[in-house]
Structure formats: structure tokens, C-alpha cells
Structure 1
Amino acid sequence: MAGPGGRMMAGGAPTDRSMDFKGSSKRLLKRFGREKTSLWLMLGAVAVSVALSVAGPKILGRATDLIFAGVVGREMAEGTTKAQALEGLRENGSGSMADMLSGVDFTPGQGIDFGAVGNVLLLALAVYVGAGLLMLVATRLSIRVINRIVFQLREDLQTKLARLPLSYFDRAKRGEVLSRATNDIDNISQTLQQTMGQLINSLLTIVGVLIVMFWISPLLALVALVTIPLSVVVATQVGKRSQPQFVQQWRVTGTLNAHIEEMYTGHTLVKVFGRQEES
């Protein structure tokens, strides 16, 4: 059975290392440096995919404009010009309507051009399909990179365990060691798979959407940006409060694994001495 040294390991060292976020991040980023080619390909695929996704609503907006122009043009008298139709609206007291329609490219007496609308919709479909395919390629590249990095982590861990002295295993709980070799690396793998592609995609999407927003309406873009500082503050506070809880969770998980492993491997010894209740 493990002695006090095992409890010290379960209660102290993992927490200290887990809280060293910067050091752990730097070591992990160094491993990504070995996958530069795949990372650049993934970044390029994500960038093009985001650009297409951001352009999609603009293309669909063109289809909406064509439909609206057709509806407006159908209501106007045929044979007149756009300027004459707008002037007639102003004379009838509909100046605000005339101002709004002045930015619409309509032809009086002409309805919806379904051919043009169809072409725009086909273009939008091609854009969204292309964005989806590129994102699929980026996801596959991301998974391959992460799997290789996790495989290297497991190999390095195996090499490290083989070099450790026997005194380490005498004072450390075997369940805690198993937890480090399985749960911790699995957590790294799951975290990277869930956040790596999404993080890059989200950052590029924010940049692309901001560019389009300021291009369309700088005032509305500024109004939308007002809520971002509040969101950042809330996310930061939640992160600070949740990180120690996650550390505690996996520290308890390691202790539980150690207890279960010792209980099963030492079952015969526990039964001989009649210590089933204490175990």
C-alpha cells in the first residue's frame, strides 16, 4: 500500500503543475512546431472557408435585392423611368418611400427576374459547399496533427516512466501514475480536438465579419462591438473560478484511481486480514 508519499503526490505536485498554464502551453506549442506544414495547410483551408462563409450572406443579400426590385418594379407604371416613378411618389407625399427606393435598382413595369435570382442562389450554394468542404479538410488535418502530437506525448511518457527509479514507484500510488498516463493525456487530446480548429475558425470569422460589418455600416458595427468588453470580462471571471475546480476534480480522480487500483490488486491481502470495511 502506498504511504504518505503517495498522498503528498496526489495532493500537491499535480496542482502546482496544472496551475502553471504558461509553462505547459509553451511546451505544448513547441510540439506543434514539428507540424508546420500541416498547420499551414489547415490555416489556409480555414481562412478560405471563413472568407467564403462571410461572403455567403452578401451574395444572398443580392438575391434579396433582386426579388425586392422585382416586386417594386411590378407595382410601378410601365413605360416610365426610375426617376419619374420616384418623383411621382414624392408628389403623392411618399417622400420617405421614394428615398428608400432610390437605392434599389428596379425597372418600372418589370417583375422579378427569376433567372438572375437562380444564378445568384446557385453561386451562393457553390460558395457554401466550398466553405463546408474546406472546413472538412481543415478538420481532418487538425485531427491528424493532434493525433500525432498525442502519440508523441504517450511515447515520451512511456520513456519517462521507464527511466524513473524504483523509489518513485514505492512512494507514489500506482493509481495516480495510471491517471497521469491515461486521464491527463486523454484530457489534452479532447481539449485540443474540441478547441484547436474552432479557435482558429472563430478568430478568423470574427475578423471577417467585422470587416464586412464596417464595410456595410460602421455605426451599426460600433453598436454591436459595445457588448464585446462585457463578454470578455465575464469569460475571464468564469475561467479564473473554474480552473481551480477542474484541478481539484482531476486530483480527486487520481486519488480515486489509486484507491481502486490498490483495493483490487491487494484484495487478497485485505480479505486475509478482514479489512474489507476499511478498504
Structure 2
Amino acid sequence: MSEPARIPAAFGRRLQLSVAEHGPILAGIDPHASLLAAWVLPDTPAGLREFSLTALDAVAGRVCGIKPQSAFYERHGSAGVAVLEELLARARERGVLTVLDVKRGDIGSTMGAYAQAHLRPGAPLEADAITVSPYLGAGSLDPAVDLALEHGKGLFVLALTSNPGAGAVQHARTAGGSALAVDVARHAESVGRGGAGSWGSVGLVVGATVEDAFTRLGLDAAAPTSPLLAPGFGAQGAGPAQLAEVFGQSAGRVLVSLSRGLLAAGPDPDGLSERAEQLRKLYTEVAPDAPTR
């Protein structure tokens, strides 16, 4: 008699436990040409590989996960993508959660194919979660949502980003009178299956530099169990004070995404590890209602 299929643990719960154990820092593995130069590495696939694996080994156990930015690997073609595959596999072996920053968004079978590429167990570019764009209609993400929930994976949906001009779309009022970003947040909350003290598996991307928009528009009330991936800390200007100022009582669900603010401590692995530990303590101390195991 065959063994019953194992039901994978929900991504939201796995993420919540990782934050409780390791703190809220999500390490952005973004091999900018300038960072490679600062590490005295060539801007080649070989340089990418040394940069990526050194960073992973140095921060593992000191961050809640890593967030590789796919574009910095794709720009090197197939050799760069092979490095990304190796990084994701190495992180999986080490038990480090991965959020692949790919910002996919499409409809129908194409969205399904993107999901298969990144959320199917055994896929070469398998990650624990990916970033997605809902601005072809939140329902366009359904194939990715279905596959993610089936396999214990997660999504982070672009909601409030701080890039110039984003507000013209994200703050725009829908026929129901709410901001479009609020409708996105409600959809993420409804499909993410959080509740009763557990985080949902579909979170939101909210920039740490959006000032009061998160609470003023009502995203905090619309998505009370969704984890919040927050770029904008460190080199982009936000710091520990923005956890409370921007996210209010939702600050305990924020993943503090840091890339240059962390990786500038390299290439020395000990320096990277020390910096990751410093940041973990700094942001854990100021985050209200941080999750507990």
C-alpha cells in the first residue's frame, strides 16, 4: 500500500516561524554591477556565483529568508540563470526560505506557466514564494494562487510601491469607492488562508517609503493576516522608525527587505554575518507584536 501524499506546510506558517526564530530581515541578493565591483569581483557569471553563495552562507540562520532579484541573473543569459538555479537549490538544502523577485503577471495559461516555472516542486527555478503583479486584474493570478496553495508555496502581490507614478494606478478609486490597492489587499487576504493567529500564504509588497498611505488608504484593515514584504529600507532611505510610522500595528508582519544596506558589509563573510546579526537585533527590537513560535 502506497504512502499517502504529504500535505506541505503552508508557506505563511513557515514564514511566520522563520521570522519568530531568525527575525524580520529578508536579505536581498541583488548582484548589482556596483556591488560586484565593491567586492572586487568581475561582472560575470563566475563573479555572480561567488557573490551569491558567499552572501547566502554568511546570512543563513541570521535572516528569515533571502530574496534574489532575478533580473540581475537574467542579464547574464543562461549562465546567469544557472547561478540563480544553484543559489535557490543551495538555500533549499540549508533550509533558508526563498522569495524570488520576478514580478510576474499575465493571464490564463501564461500565468500558469510562470507559476510552474517557480512554484512547482522540482522545477529548476523552484522558490518558496515569488513576487507577482495584479494589475491585469487580481483574478489573473488565480493559476499561481492555486499552485502555490497546493504545494505550500507563497506569493507577494504588488500593492503599494514607491516608484514614481505608482500612485496614479495604485491609489486610483474603483467603482466601489476604495483605492485599487485596497481591492488588491482584500483579494490577497481572501485567498491567502490566514487567520486565528496564522499568517496567510499570499502577502503584499508595500514600500517602506510610502509614508502614511498603507494606513490612510485602509490596507491595514483590508489584509490583517497577510505578511508584508517591504522594500525601501537601508539605501533607499527608510529605517527602523518607518516600521511603526508606515505600518502601524501591522509592523509585526513586515519583512524588512535589505540588499545594499546588508551586502555592503562584504565581501568578508564574517563582516556580512556580523552585519546581518546587527540588523536582526535592531529591527526586532523596534517591531511591535513580533511573532512568537
* Fold shared, TM-score > 0.5 on shorter chain: no
From the two aligned structures, give the one with the greater helix fraction: 1
From the two aligned structures, give the one with the greater strand fraction: 2
Q: What TM-score do the two structures reach when normalised by structure 2?
A: 0.24
Q: Larger Cα Rg: Structure 1 or Structure 2?
A: 1
Q: What TM-score do the two structures reach when normalised by structure 1?
A: 0.24
Q: Answer 1 or 2: higher relative contact order, Cα 8 Å, separation at least 6.
A: 1
